Amino acid sequence: MKHASEFEAKTLDVKSLIARPGVKHSYCTSFVPQDSWVGNNPYAFGGEGKLQVDVWFDEEDINVVGTIVVPMNYVCSRCGSNFEENLFIEVQEVLKSEPDEEHFTYKGNVVDFDKIIGELVASNIPQQVLCRQDCKGICLICGKNKNEESCKCGQNLGKNNPFGSLKDKFN
Tell which residue, 135, 113, 44, 142, has the closest CA to residue 85. 44
Q: Half-sphere exposure of 35 toward its Cβ, with a 13 Å CA cutoff?
A: 1
Could you say whether residue 157 binds Zn ion (CB under 5 A)? no
Tell which residue, 52, 60, 54, 53, has the closest CA to residue 18. 60
Out of 24, 50, 78, 115, point to the residue binding Zn ion (CB under 5 A): 78
CB 46, min distance to Zn ion, A: 18
Of the candidate spans 25-33, 42-50, 112-120, 145-153, the one that interacts with Zn ion by CB under 5 A turns out to be 145-153
**Exposed/middle/buried for residue 115 (C-beta within 10 Å: 0-12, 13-18, 19+):** middle
Tell which residue, 28, 25, 26, has the closest CA to residue 10. 28
Could you say whether residue 153 binds Zn ion (CB under 5 A)? yes
CB 87, min distance to Zn ion, A: 17
Could you say whether residue 135 binds Zn ion (CB under 5 A)? yes
Out of 119, 142, 161, 164, point to the residue binding Zn ion (CB under 5 A): 142
Chain contacts with Zn ion (rule: CB under 5 A): 76, 78-79, 131, 135, 139, 141-142, 151, 153
